[in-house]
Chains A and B, each alone.
Chain A
Amino acid sequence: MRQASKKQGINLRPGNVISGKWHHRKYVIKKQLGSGAIGSVYLCEHNGKYAALKISDKSSSITMEVNVLKTFQKVQGNRLGPSLLDVDDWVDFQGNRWSFYVMEYLKGSSLADFLQRHGDEWLGILMLQILDDLESLHQTGWVFGDLKSDNLIVTHPPARLRWIDVGGTTQIGRSIKEYTEFFDRGYWQMGSRKAEPSYDLFALAMVMIQYYYPNRFERGNSPERTLMNKVKQIPQLQKYQPTLRKALTGQYSSSEQMKNELATILMGPTTKQTQYRRPTKTTTAKPKTQYQARNDDGQGHPILESVGICIVVLFFYFCYLFLL
């Protein structure tokens, strides 16, 4: 976003040193971890320890994110986000001022990578974990806001789903600060952009759906019907259907309700789809092709299958008749 300022986006190289203007700590840049609308995140080293450093020319946005992280730190246990280590400004050689903050570095893999390597049955379990965290977050008066697959990371072992970007975190009752269309219920015309627990639960349902649609999909003329159809088309989502439906239509007013119902499904009797099946070791395959493969092997051809069974039964029946 081009604000009325002239600075270009930042481009730091490995080996660059960022030194704070106020607290005088030095950070050596190792590599870039990501970049978004507000600034870039780098892996850095300070006193022999790795940390993540987010830097931007938008001092106000950085400050707002720091405010959120600080609120989390006051919450018991501080597991609601990466812990905040430092906040400072850096003046580069040309005299440009950048604002940055340093947080705990969470090493892990993306949700999609993890599920491909360890199997779909982890999806429900990881969702239970995040619902636990959302519950505590909502209890402290905040809503995550920009909940999407890109903002989630699985640390392992033990496998734990955690969120990494608090830029959209908003106080309950206000308007959502930051969102991504595909995960936003306003975009799907299925609710407002007011920060309330059900906003996050909608987004979480979309995270589950998006795993099976890595390329996402258009909302079409009747967004709600499109969504429900897309859910129906994925056999692996079958067992979650009632929960997903409720989350998408805003019928859960708290994470706890969704968590309990999801837990009931996961504890329930093992159906054909939930049976443990070691996933094939094709970790190098791209998500796109993965999806097609997943769709095919799960669905099969029910009609062919039943016709086959009939033929076999008839064959034995005739054998029986002839032998008599």
Chain B
Amino acid sequence: MKKGTLKQILLITDGCSNKGEDPSAVAALAAQQGITVNVIGVLEDEQTEDPTGLQEVEEIAMSGGGVSQIVYKQALSQTVQTVTKQAMTQTLQGVVNQELKQILGPKQDLEELPPEQRGEVMEVVEDLGETSDLEVLVLVDTSASMHNKLPTVQESLIDLSVSMNARIGRNRFSIFSFPGKRKDIDKIFDWSPKLDSISSVFPKLTSGGITPTGPALKAAMYQFGKKSLKRSFLRKDETSIEETGD
């Protein structure tokens, strides 16, 4: 099987969207384009587990073919990396299922196979997850209420890079924030194989009370199509492999 590049948007937010198009619809569109949308909802310390504002989180991830999780900020690091990994497995499993259907007929998917054969298929999925290239665009809500959570977000993104760079496959990360100053999103950190140099990117950001999640997701989608990214990926970038090895 040809090893493709997995594309993911990781949306980190603490509230409900209140401006522009429906984020779930945009997420469905992204999924159509082969981009998985994962969402992490961050709770205030005193908030209870299921606040109404964050119900949207699950819906967006579901239509975006991704994984969602609502957490307190202390658990963010571990969540960011499990969500990313789970979404990878989920996507790859979807691809494998598609192949199985083509070979064995429309009713056949992984869960319909007896456990013995399922094991063999899962080994393939696992291999793919380890070796395929991954692009993650992190989209961070930087509205006022997120301000005190940003240091934790930053820490957990560095942690994500540590986890992902232990894989054999290559990685690219970029970070965008929304709402942007003039546009829907602002670029904070350009596509790069590692996230270790982001120590000073967040503090300067704060904005008013609007949360245009839909438009931000849409703008984020286009960041994958950029030629610059494709070129940098096609280039035989030996150094970046070296870097990921440590």
Interface residues of A (CB under 8 A from B): 1-4, 22, 37, 59-60, 63-64, 66-67, 70, 87-89, 97, 99, 173-176, 181, 186-187, 192-195
A174 and B131 alpha carbons, distance in the complex (Å): 9
Residue of B nearest to A178 (CB): B82
In contact, A193 and B78 (Cβ under 8 angstroms): no
- Chain B residues with CB under 8 Å of A1's CB are 67, 69, 82-83, 86
Chain B nearest CB: distance from A255 CB in Å?
A: 20
A60 to B62, alpha carbons, bound, how many Å?
A: 18
B211 interface residue (CB < 8 Å to A)? no
User: How many Å from the CB of B61 to the closest CB on chain A?
Assistant: 6
Contact with A along B213-237 (1 / 0, CB 8 A): 0000000000000000000000000
Interface centre among A2, A88, A192 (most CB of B within 10 A): A2
CB–CB A37/B69 < 8 A: no
List residues of chain B with CB within 8 A of the CB of A66: 115, 119
Give every chain A residue within 8 A of B89 (Cβ-Cβ).
Answer: 60
Total A-B pairs in contact (CB under 8 Å)? 81
What are 30 A-B contacts with C-beta separation under 8 Å? A1-B83, A1-B86, A2-B58, A2-B67, A2-B68, A3-B67, A4-B65, A4-B67, A4-B90, A22-B114, A59-B110, A59-B111, A60-B89, A60-B122, A63-B119, A63-B122, A66-B119, A67-B119, A70-B119, A87-B116, A88-B115, A174-B130, A175-B130, A175-B166, A175-B167, A175-B168, A181-B78, A192-B165, A192-B246, A193-B162
Whose C-beta in chain A lies nearest to the C-beta of B65?
A: A4
The residues of A that contact B93 with a CB separation of less than 8 Å are 60
Which of B58, B115, B163 interacts with A186 by CB under 8 Å?
B163
On chain B, the residues within 8 Å of A3 by CB distance are: 67, 86, 90
Q: Considering the complex, which residues of chain B in the window 58-96 have a beta carbon less than 8 Å from any beta carbon of chain A?
A: 58, 61-62, 65-70, 77-78, 82-83, 86, 89-90, 93
3 closest A-B pairs by CB: A175-B166, A193-B166, A87-B115
Shortest CB-to-CB span from A132 to chain B, Å, is 26
Alpha-carbon gap, A175 to B168, bound state (A): 8
Q: Is the Cβ of A186 less than 8 Å from the Cβ of B162? A: yes
Given B62, B114, B159, B164, which contacts A4 in the complex, CB threshold below 8 Å?
Answer: B62
Having A59-B110, A89-B111, one finds 17 other A-B pairs with CB under 8 Å, namely A1-B83, A4-B61, A4-B90, A59-B118, A60-B89, A60-B93, A63-B119, A64-B122, A66-B119, A70-B119, A87-B119, A88-B115, A174-B130, A175-B164, A181-B78, A187-B159, A195-B166
State whether the Cβ of B12 lies closer than 8 Å to any Cβ in chain A: no
Complex CA–CA separation, A303 to B78 (angstroms): 45
- Tell me if B123 counts as interface (CB < 8 A to partner A): yes
Q: Which residues of A contact B162 (CB under 8 A)?
A: 186, 192-193
Do A193 and B163 have beta carbons less than 8 Å apart? Answer: yes
Bound state CA distance, A196 and B49, in angstroms? 37
| Chain B residue at minimal CB-CB distance from A181 | B78
Task: Say yes or no for B44: interface residue by CB 8 A criterion.
Answer: no
Instruction: Assess the B163–A175 pair: CB atoms within 8 A.
Output: yes
Chain A residues, Cβ within 8 Å of B114 = 22
Cα–Cα distance between A263 and B163 once the two chains are bound (Å): 33
Give Cα A187 to B76, complex, Å: 13
Q: Are A67 and B111 in contact (CB under 8 A)?
A: no
